[in-house]
Structure 1
């Protein structure tokens, strides 16, 4: 079946309006804040402006006030939002809330959707996804999960430690992955729990100082100590947490790629503008062969990244797992986007490393993407295993 690369007219119009909103409203705030927002007041102002522009929470279903976009539709609009570091925050499509919206729509009960999903979509509440643990716990290998949930009268008691939990500071609730059966290393036995922020058994231990700073709420370490929740806090079914995580993780990897692709385009635009205006050695910088090669390589990698994203999104829209295509796209995008931003900074020279443009900030923000959502090495290992398995099956037949 052919992959249709032409966006739906509604999606194309929405992407155009988002692009205008980001350029007219968001970039001025981004430049003033150096790409980092820590104020709830400023977050609220950006999101109110997005609502007034009619571009808020486009990923949510129409039932909850969004546009009900499929993954290919999200690719177009998320890229435009990602043209600014603060665009996704303004539109309420930043991680981790965006991925949690996707998962809650697919898994949560009607009662859970009203309690958690509706205020999350409206921007009245934020969330976090608590799966990653300090070593030797869950990380690149989720089956190493050590946090445990034991059945108690009327509910569950959760005990364990999580870290690198994005957006935890100020979140209204956490989706906590805990082991309800089996031992670390087992492929099953995990359950997701909805834990309210005011639960005395969940403590924000510290903020982790990281290279990136633009994700709202930062990255935190959480302690679950005698954290008791009711039976109604179970998200989905008991012991099915790893399976449910796939509902979130594949699409979330792609939406990360979409947003960072917007930053790659922004970096390229800054570099091309500088190269077209700066004169050196009797000609414009843009007329020097080495600079032309860097500009061309940026264009090639931006186009290739977009193509891989659309391929993976098409497979997800068909209802498949798209495990191989999402792994390929995530690995390529994480590395290509870094190269695009790095070349753009190089083209701009001393301006690029200064605070007068945001290329240095972009470089710091995109570097961790080669680790977040699975390191490139882990994805390459999984990609190779699938290729070899396919070969072995074909040889056996």
Structure 2
């Protein structure tokens, strides 16, 4: 069976019943983004999945290089950036509905230069890199000429606790010597991946466990950097993620490649992961919306036991629950975005943690019901459903597992009563 795209039917707020309204600039971008998706993204999804499967995670799907110039020419480029000459200058709240639209397709985020981990890496470089490194790395990233990776997770330790990191960053004169074994280093197999933001311990004996770590820039062509393999995510290579395993063996980089300063790695990580987490949630809401559309269209067109699936009570219940779960997650995400804009990421840590738990769990449940509605066909990727589930399930772990966020939420709640 060929891949069968479903008519997008993108919901475009503001709707009269919504309790929020986006500025005219955001509404205009929504309309333009939705039009681009219909004209260029949805018609090319079948090709994208085919190229990703045939070429593998070590090569670039040609469709990406064809669509990126079109997106840039349309002014739909670097929309994630806050006030900046390079982006749209949107708030987190304003970016939310745009990120949701992009999240409807695995193809879209990179086409608009709004995909992880580049977005987070660009924000780190903009805040903490030297002018020289911004010229060398940030500008080509903003232009979509190169890609980047972020090396934090390690196979030998429980990386849900970042203080467990064992990789080392040791000063030797005017250089740092880096050693470490990383995996789930997204993008490392991409031939355009030119720079890595590496997290390791520069002061392992520091009494403050959160001051032991540092982050340093590592050009991927530095001797000693070895990309060992692409890691499949539920059997998918390259989509939804270019997960990779990388070894750093006696890698030497100049002292000037240190970001912010020694011992500031955990601080950078927390600042980087806040926006990254909410962007994941925004995209998941769009993905869940599209999957709900698939369930609705499927249930209206398929007959079993003398009735359409839409007439079966269990299907109606699942459609209703999906609508409730998606709208709950959207409102929770918008609230977190508003808090980030008004009181800052640190003060909004509870709201960010809540959406990071709620959105992936919501998407996993909705997509699981969509799989049931499609029967065996829901387990292959003819309709993109299996890849959608892989994305949602992966994001219950990426940027911190559910359990870590729940523990933080619980502690913050208990603190109100102490």
Could you state the TM-score of these two structures normalised by the residue count of structure 2?
Answer: 0.87
Alignment of 1:323-338 (within 5 A): 323-338=349-364
Q: Does 1:119 align with 2:140?
A: yes
Match of 1:100 among 121, 127, 136: 121
CA 355–178 in structure 1, closer or farther in 2 if over 3 Å, else same: closer
Alignment of 1:131-280 (within 5 A): 131-136=152-157, 139-169=159-189, 170=191, 171-183=193-205, 186-211=209-234, 212-215=236-239, 218-280=242-304
Shift of 1:149: 1.1
Q: Which stretch has the larger CA shift, 21-30 or 255-264?
A: 21-30
Match of 1:47 among 54, 68, 77: 68
Aligned counterparts of 1:115 and 1:189: Cα–Cα separation in 2: 28
- Paired residue secondary structure (1:44): helix
Aligned counterparts of 1:123 and 1:209: Cα–Cα separation in 2: 25
Q: What is the RMSD of the two structures over their aligned residues, measured on CA atoms?
A: 2.2
Q: Which stretch has the larger CA shift, 109-118 or 205-214?
A: 205-214
Q: 1:214 touches 1:365 (CA, 8 Å); kept in 2?
A: no
Q: 2:99 touches 2:282 (CA, 8 Å); kept in 1?
A: yes
- 1:80-134 per-position Cα deviation (integer Å, ceiling 9, x unaligned): 0111111112111111111112222222232222211111111101001111112
Q: 2:354 touches 2:409 (CA, 8 Å); kept in 1?
A: yes
Q: 1:144 touches 1:186 (CA, 8 Å); kept in 2?
A: no
Aligned pairs, number: 389
- Paired residue secondary structure (2:273): helix
Q: Counterpart of 2:24? A: 9
- Paired residue secondary structure (1:311): helix
Shift of 1:178: 1.7
Q: Counterpart of 2:16? A: none
Q: 1:35 touches 1:214 (CA, 8 Å); kept in 2?
A: no
Match of 2:87 among 66, 70, 76: 66
Q: Does 1:27 align with 2:42?
A: yes
Match of 1:371 among 381, 397, 414: 397
Alignment of 1:309-320 (within 5 A): 309-318=333-342, 319-320=344-345
Aligned counterparts of 2:291 and 2:254: Cα–Cα separation in 1: 48
Shift of 1:35: 7.5
Q: Counterpart of 1:361? A: 387
Q: Which stretch has the larger CA shift, 53-62 or 243-252?
A: 53-62
Q: 1:5 touches 1:310 (CA, 8 Å); kept in 2?
A: no
Match of 2:316 among 287, 292, 300: 292
CA 5–110 in structure 1, closer or farther in 2 if over 3 Å, else same: farther
Aligned counterparts of 1:195 and 1:107: Cα–Cα separation in 2: 15
- 1:317-373 per-position Cα deviation (integer Å, ceiling 9, x unaligned): 122412211111110111110111111222233443454422122122321111111
- 1:177-203 per-position Cα deviation (integer Å, ceiling 9, x unaligned): 121113498221211111111100222
Q: Counterpart of 2:96? A: 75
Q: 2:231 touches 2:237 (CA, 8 Å); kept in 1?
A: no
Aligned counterparts of 1:375 and 1:210: Cα–Cα separation in 2: 16
Shift of 1:77: 0.7
Q: 2:224 touches 2:249 (CA, 8 Å); kept in 1?
A: yes
- Paired residue secondary structure (2:196): strand
CA 206–320 in structure 1, closer or farther in 2 if over 3 Å, else same: closer
Q: 2:150 touches 2:197 (CA, 8 Å); kept in 1?
A: yes
Match of 1:128 among 145, 149, 158: 149
Aligned counterparts of 2:246 and 2:413: Cα–Cα separation in 1: 38
Q: Counterpart of 2:12? A: none
CA 302–201 in structure 1, closer or farther in 2 if over 3 Å, else same: same
Could you state the TM-score of these two structures normalised by the residue count of structure 1?
Answer: 0.92
Instruction: Could you tell me which runs of 5 or more consecutive residues in structure 2 were left unpaired when the two chains were aligned.
Output: 1-18
